[in-house]
Amino acid sequence: MSEAMNGVFPVTGRLFSVLWRLRLAWLLLTLLFPVLAHAQALGLKVRPADREIISEAPRQIVTVAFQVHNGTGRDGQFEAQPALPPGWRLITPEYPFDLADGETQLRFISFFIPENTRAGDYAFTYSVNNRQQPAISDTYSLPVRVLSRLKFDASPLEVPGFVIAGESYGISFLVRNRGNVAVTLGYEIGSSLGHRLNPETGTLTLEPSESKPVRVRVESTGVSELTLDLLNFTAWTTDKTITADATVSVRLLPRITGTEQRYNSIRSLFSLKAVTEERGDRRRSGWQAEMSGGGAIDEAGEKRIDYLLRGPDLRNESVLGTLDEYRFEYRDPRLGLSLGDRVYALSPLSERGRYGRGAEISYRTDRWQLVSYSMADRFNGDPSTQNAVRAGYAFNPGKRMDIHFLDKEGENPGDIWSLRSRMEWRPGRATDLEVAQSRADSERGGAYRGRIDDSSHPFRYQLTLLHADPEYRGYYRDQEFAFFGFDYPLDDKWSLNGTYRFQRDNLNVDPERVAPVERQAILGADYRLSSQTRIGIDYRQFVKHDRRPEPEFDAGNDALGLTVSRRLEALSLLGVARWGETEDKLNRERFGTALYLASVHWQATLRQSYNAYLFYDDNAHTLERQSVQKTLGLGANYRLSAASTLNLNIQGDLGADEKPYTLNALLEHRWSNGHQTSLVARHSTGDEKQTALMLTYRVPFGLPVSRKRNVATLRGRVLDAETGTGLENVVLNLGGLIAVSDSEGRFSFPSVKTGRYHLSLDRPGASVDKVSVEKLPKEIEIRQGDDNRTEIALIRGATLSGQIRVYDLPDSVLPTQTYIKVGATDRPDDSPDPPQRPLKRANVLADTLVTFINGEHTIKRLTDQDGRFRIAGVPPGRWVITMDENNLPVNTIPEQRQQILIVEPGEEANIDFKVIPEVRKIKMLEPLKEI
């Protein structure tokens, strides 16, 4: 162990000892610093084993390590629940694991940041709880910053607003080359509903400043309710250094527009699970029913309920089984009520969160909030109870003050008072300060905590300071803790990062139990060789010693780490290596440590991906010599169809003699009626073989909760004004409600709230040249009890076409002949008119964007190779047509920047744009005089 560490760390410890004695003064001073706190004195403890501030680019693999320590006083089986931002993919699956009392286990978690993740700050949360006693739990969150990257230019071109479910439709994307060299691109399109696309992948070549459309045909499937299909277009250069993303949403409309509903209902789900497990020579099975849901119970959407009813408890029947839970929640703008099983929380120093059964009620105004709960543990033999009250006042949306009171019985009983201040000073910078006092019989104790997060500028950092007296009865007890972490990009290539952590327990050095002090410092640097490759290096020092006269441990570790991440087209690679040495001063022993980690993610196609990972840990994060951990994992994800997915993964322990492994499989299918089926299979080996199956069938439904008031039904018909026949598949919009006409042109809007609406067409029907005879949107008044009916007649629409032509000077005109008269006289000062000369037609403009605007209607078209454009079936009326001037030749301007046309139904109108030389003015200066 280096002498520098031995010298620096004791001085730092004395500095923190002084800080704890300052207490309240320290709280006021921390308003000037950034803060974050995570520590726990007793019970289950989860904390990072490595860097705690992460910055990474999209399409990269991130691996973090957590140490899970069981200080509950008894052995137990635990399960972890990683929580990722939506769309991020977990590479390493989590399985239940056993942890003896006093044991610490290292858990590695790898996840993949998707290609289309927007730059910004995110959070990754890792939670661990005891399977039999969920109240024993701990959680830690790590901030993740996704970096920006260079993108190629792509945008939606033609996108339908609505599509009849089951029909095929076309969309197009526009790709532009903004550079000055030709480029060849690959592209891929994906559907969130798994619809068949043609083409799904392809390539195109663009000359400098050239634009090309990519047209795709989508085969949609039937749906039973209004559904969004997200279509993502991604283009990339061959070396992947420049990418372009564009996403559009298309609404799929069911052919059956619904039935009249007299009741407000909330979306609910009924599930039936059957499990079976074979462990050794024992076989168990069971079943579990669940009904859950939530939503607004009034027409205004201000009152909401959520509920969960699940039972019986299946945890003893299978490793896949879940516990029984029953809860109900009600919320409106003022009142909140919660009953049943959930996590009850008050504040970090009083109660961060404890699972149990109880009740909570809250009342809020624009500034004040009052919350009270009473709960009891469900699974402890000697159940603990809590009664709590919180009163808060919000000065504004970003600044508030709260006072808390907690009465605890059972485990660690006592009364706790605390005052907490949370302030957001500007976007990205916030402080969280709390001071608390506890009382139990004649024993009194105090605790202080501060937190500031600052990500408002490139230098991102966090600082934590916390103190809890030995007599304090809150979440933290008999502990001092400090943490500082930062991440700073020096330029586009280099960035620095570092963390410092200090923790001291058993402050009064009670000789009956250990009095540990832990210090860890990490300093690292990252270098980006390219947008696809990153190299990181870090140095880590960790020491831990017992401060009692006869210590149980006194050891430290120095380690050097290297990280390499690389993207290769569809591959994302990550490699981590760490070499170090541990010194055990009590046993006068030194031994080497090592850690190797490799992870790969391969997105073979949009329908299948694969991943693999390998962990090798030779005491890299422990100070006691233990057996080497070797873990190998493989995974695969398949989209079998638009409605079916299959996920497979296997994880093996190569360090054990028996080489145990766990195989997991998940098959999911969504039926055409909206029902869902899933099958989970798990097989593991080791001390005894174990095979478990769980089959789940889910049925979505609407649960009626209240009778609708002031509702009626609007019925109508869409017809051809020339023939009188009904028009099928016409999409109508009534104040955001959607209906589709049937084969006779009839439609209905069931259960519409009475009042005035505007009825419009979102799609004119099977014939694209049809437009409405009367002006749309059409005002409709819905009356209760009346026969609300209407009729819409359609006739042929108009067609607009034209060409963009480029004109040049006649050959007889020299460049020095500045004045060119085109249509009107250009007279600089009082000079005479220049001679009028006719222009000659020189060329046409291809791949130029032309925009047509008629009120809220906006249509865009690209000119073809002959410079022509054409749209058919447009509504009659006043159209403003403009062309994109970014694609004009040098020193030219459009003769007219926009053209206005009034078109009649069925009319074919022609619009031509002329691009002419720009008239320039030159002022002649007098000759210089001789000196």
Nearest one of 819, 538, 608 to 89, comparing CA atoms = 608
Residues in the chain: 931
Query: What are the Cα distances from residue 795, in Å, to 218, 634, 728?
Result: 28, 61, 14
The answer to whether the CB of 281 falls within 8 A of the CB of 257 is: no
With H, G, I as helix, E, B as strand and everything else as coil, classify residue 76.
strand
Nearest one of 163, 154, 225 to 195, comparing CA atoms = 163
Q: Which residues contact 421 (CB under 8 A, 6 or more apart)?
A: 400, 401, 402, 431, 432, 433, 434
Q: How does DSSP assign 404-449, residue by residue?
A: EEEEEESSS-EEEEEEEEEEEEETTEEEEEEEEEEEETTEEEEEEE
Nearest one of 423, 413, 331 to 371, comparing CA atoms = 331
With H, G, I as helix, E, B as strand and everything else as coil, classify residue 39.
coil
Checking phi first, is residue 353 left (phi over 0); if not, alpha (psi -120 to 50) or beta?
left
- Give the whole-number percent of the chain exceeding pLDDT 70: 87
For residue range 324-347, list pLDDT tens digits in order: 999 999 999 999 999 999 999 999
CA–CA separation, 142 and 119 (whole Å): 17
DSSP state of 776: S
- The answer on pLDDT for 7 being more than 60 is no
Q: Which long-range contacts (CB under 8 A, 24 or more apart) does 643-650 make?
A: 643/194, 643/221, 643/669, 643/670, 643/671, 643/672, 644/668, 644/669, 644/670, 649/93
Q: What is the 3-state secondary structure (H, E, C) of 212-239?
A: EEEEEEEECCCCCCCEEEEEEEEEEECC
Tokens of 596: 């190797």
What number is the average pLDDT over the span 693-715?
A: 87
- Output the pLDDT for position 255: 61
pTM of the model: 0.67
Residue given tokens 């339908």 in the structure block:
160
- Output the pLDDT for position 27: 39
When pLDDT is cut at 50, 70 and 90, the band that residue 286 belongs to is very high
- Output the pLDDT for position 698: 96
- The answer on pLDDT for 150 being more than 50 is no
- Output the pLDDT for position 331: 95
E-state strands within 826-897: 840-844, 849-854, 857-862, 868-874, 877-883, 892-894
For residue range 17-61, list pLDDT tens digits in order: 433 343 433 333 333 333 333 334 457 888 888 778 888 877 788
When pLDDT is cut at 50, 70 and 90, the band that residue 312 belongs to is very high
- Output the pLDDT for position 404: 96
Integer-rounded Cα Rg, in Å, for the chain is: 35
Nearest-5° Cα angle at 173, 172 to 178: 150
For residue range 407-440, list pLDDT tens digits in order: 999 878 899 999 999 999 988 899 999 999 999 9
CA–CA separation, 214 and 209 (whole Å): 16
> Which phi and psi (to 5°) does residue 194 adopt?
75, 25
What are residue 762's DSSP bridge partners?
Answer: none
Range name among 26-40, 270-284, 762-776 with the lowest pLDDT average: 26-40
- The answer on pLDDT for 556 being more than 50 is yes
For residue range 863-873, list pLDDT tens digits in order: 998 899 998 87
Q: Which residues contact 4 (CB under 8 A, 6 or more apart)?
A: none
Nearest one of 781, 780, 576 to 60, comparing CA atoms = 576
State the sign of the Cα–Cα–Cα–Cα dihedral 88, 92, 93, 95: negative
Q: Which residues contact 21 (CB under 8 A, 6 or more apart)?
A: none
For residue range 569-616, list pLDDT tens digits in order: 778 899 999 999 999 999 899 999 999 999 999 888 878 889 999 999
C-alpha count within 13 angstroms, C-beta hemisphere, residue 653: 17
- Output the pLDDT for position 768: 53
What number is the average pLDDT over the span 646-674?
A: 89
Q: Which long-range contacts (CB under 8 A, 24 or more apart) does 756-762 make?
A: 756/780, 756/781, 756/782, 757/781, 757/782, 758/734, 759/732, 759/733, 759/734, 759/790, 759/792, 760/732, 760/733, 761/730, 761/731, 761/732, 761/733, 761/792, 762/161, 762/162, 762/731, 762/732, 762/733, 762/738
Q: How many other CB atoms are found less than 10 A from the CB of residue 300?
A: 8
What number is the average pLDDT over the span 84-99?
A: 84
DSSP state of 67: E
The answer to whether the CB of 514 falls within 8 A of the CB of 548 is: yes
CA–CA separation, 226 and 737 (whole Å): 10
The answer to whether the CB of 916 falls within 8 A of the CB of 837 is: no
Range name among 582-591, 764-773, 794-803 with the lowest pLDDT average: 764-773
For residue range 175-231, list pLDDT tens digits in order: 887 765 677 888 888 888 888 889 888 898 887 778 889 999 998 887 767 788 888
Q: How many other CB atoms are found less than 10 A from the CB of residue 536?
A: 18
Range name among 293-302, 715-724, 816-825, 892-901 with the lowest pLDDT average: 816-825
What number is the average pLDDT over the span 559-569?
A: 89
- Output the pLDDT for position 62: 87
CA–CA separation, 263 and 733 (whole Å): 22
Nearest one of 302, 248, 230 to 606, comparing CA atoms = 230
For residue range 448-506, list pLDDT tens digits in order: 999 999 988 889 999 999 999 999 998 888 999 999 999 999 988 899 999 999 999 99
